[in-house]
Amino acid sequence: MRIVKLISETQSIISEYKANGKRVGFVPTMGALHKGHLSLVAQSKRENDITVVSIFVNPTQFNNLNDLKTYPRILDKDLDLLSEYEPDLIFIPEAEEVYPEPDTRVFNFGDIEKVMEGKNRPGHFNGVAQVVSKLFDYIRPNNAYFGQKDFQQVAVIKQMTKNLELDINIVACPIIREVDGLAMSSRNMLLSKVERKNAAKISETLFKACNLVPDFSVSQLKEWVIAEINNNAYLEVEYFEIVDDTNLKSIEKWDDSDNRIACITVQVGKVRLIDNISL
């Protein structure tokens, strides 16, 4: 398990792997690792000769500076966890290494960036595209692994890869959940004990919602989910949308799409959590 901080050294190592015909899998993270991240590492190791993990809290994707400031950073613990999975290379750059000068690139992802997270976090996906495109350039992976919890982000990265004509396979991996159903997230560690207990209501409600299709109309189900979660004093829904899982367009009737996904963002105290489920 080799730890590298410089882009030049990373590129040199990757070039050697590639010259030897090695297939490279890449797992980009912002640290504060949990079993969800580790499942991506495990899948990459199964499907590639070499696995690279990056740990970098990307400043350009935070539209809330306080969110950037409070994002958990526990590098020593992250490295301990990764040592059990033994990725071949861990890339841990400083912000000045990735952004020696401001990145002024503006990406266009069409309608998929104008809804849900894109609508509620202006500039977020542009920042994601900036850093992921840079990381792809450094690592040049054959396969890159992302968690399905960030459903819209995966859609954006797939579109970015297509727009930039990159020969990289984007692999979306299943959501990993806690025993009580809460989607694993680095932000979960910021919850108080009572907030953490009540946060399980989010996934519990989504699971129940699956059983209400098609007895409820789309609008009725959306109203029910929002009311059910907001009835908990610790939770407040920011948005809940039911969309086609390819183009992310909202559906009004169940027969508008055969591939529906329900996406939700909930404020739990000062912590913002996202989740989704197929309907």
37 an active-site residue? Answer: yes
Given phi > 0 = left and psi -120 to 50 = alpha, else beta, which region is 65?
alpha
Cis, bond preceding 122 (omega within 30 deg of 0) = no
24, 36, 37, 199: the active-site residue: 37
Contact by Cβ (8 Å): 24, 14? yes
In terms of C-beta density within 10 A (0-12 exposed, 13-18 middle, 19 or more buried), how is residue 110 classed? Answer: exposed
| 3-class state of residue 32 by DSSP | coil
* DSSP E strand stretches across the chain: 2-4, 24-29, 50-55, 89-91, 143-147, 169-173, 235-244, 260-268, 271-278
- Per DSSP, the residues of 86-147 read --SEEE---HHHH-SS--------GGGGSSTHHHHSTTHHHHHHHHHHHHHHHH--SEEEEE
Give the number of other CB atoms < 10 A from CB of residue 86. Answer: 10
* Residue 189 main-chain phi, psi, to 5 deg: -70, -10
Strand-pair category, 89-91 with 24-29: unpaired
Active site residues: 37
